[in-house]
């Protein structure tokens, strides 16, 4: 089988769901947003907004989308390329970490639906091995940070940025030929972060049975 490319275009209003993770009841973000939204000026059209204030020293804000039409129970190596809009400046000092380099974009694709669940230690976490902040896991990749090349530490300005493709990640579809994509920002910056996802391209390379 030949490689398959799947494009998720958030301007086309795909059916997706937003969620947050990596906090306790006491440190839950007061203002999380993971939803379709107009792109900020000077950009036009729709995107998917990921934003919120990190009060836990480790906040994950993500979107998940179920993708179908693939081969059932097929193993793939998948790569991700993400385009988004960000006003996070580069090379600046922030609480807990820098506002740009301290916030990492994660992406993964799994047969298992990503869910935020309460753990025994009182933390709400995603039920996947996705790593943490700048380090990826077996079910999610750390693609890079959100700092742009336009903003300054004193004056922010939104600019376009792209990340990926990163090294390929092993995954498998479910019995219906479906897979769950998740993309999010994992923050070590203990303040407010905001990006707008535009597209996510998945390249799925099938593995022999």
Q: Read off the pLDDT of residues 144-159 as tens digits, 9 standing for 90 and up.
A: 999 999 999 989 999 9
User: Looking at the 3D structure of the chain, how many domains does it have?
Assistant: 1
Check residue 207 and give its pLDDT.
95
Residue pLDDT, tens place only, 107-162 = 999 999 999 999 999 999 999 999 888 888 999 999 999 999 999 998 999 999 99
Q: Give the C-alpha distances (Å, rounded to integers) separating 55 from 8, 37, 99.
A: 30, 24, 14
pLDDT band at 167 (very low <50, low <70, confident <90, very high): confident
CA distances, 19 to each of 32, 40, 61, 90, 91 (Å): 9, 21, 6, 27, 29
Domain of 102, in residue numbers? 4-206
Q: Where are the alpha helices (DSSP H) in the chain?
A: none
Task: Give per-residue pLDDT as tens, 45-99.
Answer: 999 999 999 987 889 999 999 999 999 999 999 999 999 999 999 999 887 779 9
Dihedral sign from CA coordinates of 182, 104, 6, 196: positive
CATH number at residue 165: 2.60.120
In this prediction, residues 97-102 reach a mean pLDDT of: 90
For residue 147, the model assigns a pLDDT of 97
* CA atoms of 134 and 144, how far apart (whole Å): 7
pLDDT at 44: 96
Q: How far apart are CA 42 and CA 183, in angstroms?
A: 24
pTM here is 0.95
């Amino acid at each position: 089988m030949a490689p398959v490319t799947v494009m998720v275009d958030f301007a086309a209003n795909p059916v997706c769901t937003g969620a947050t993770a990596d906090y306790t009841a006491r440190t839950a973000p007061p203002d999380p947003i993971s939803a379709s939204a107009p792109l900020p000026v000077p950009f036009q059209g729709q995107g998917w907004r990921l934003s919120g204030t990190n009060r836990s020293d480790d906040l994950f804000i993500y979107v998940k989308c179920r993708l179908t039409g693939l081969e059932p129970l097929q193993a793939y190596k998948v790569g991700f390329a993400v385009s988004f809009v960000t006003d996070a400046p580069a090379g600046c000092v922030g609480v807990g970490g820098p506002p740009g380099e301290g916030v990492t974009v994660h992406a993964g694709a799994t047969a298992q639906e990503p869910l935020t669940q309460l753990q025994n230690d009182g933390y709400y976490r995603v039920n996947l091995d996705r790593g943490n902040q700048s380090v990826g896991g077996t079910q999610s990749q750390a693609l890079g940070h959100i700092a742009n090349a336009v903003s300054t530490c004193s004056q922010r300005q939104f600019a376009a940025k792209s990340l990926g493709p990163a090294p390929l990640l092993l995954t498998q579809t479910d019995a219906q030929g479906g897979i769950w994509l998740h993309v999010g920002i994992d923050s070590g910056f203990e303040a407010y972060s905001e990006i707008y996802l535009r597209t996510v391209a998945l390249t799925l390379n099938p593995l022999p049975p």
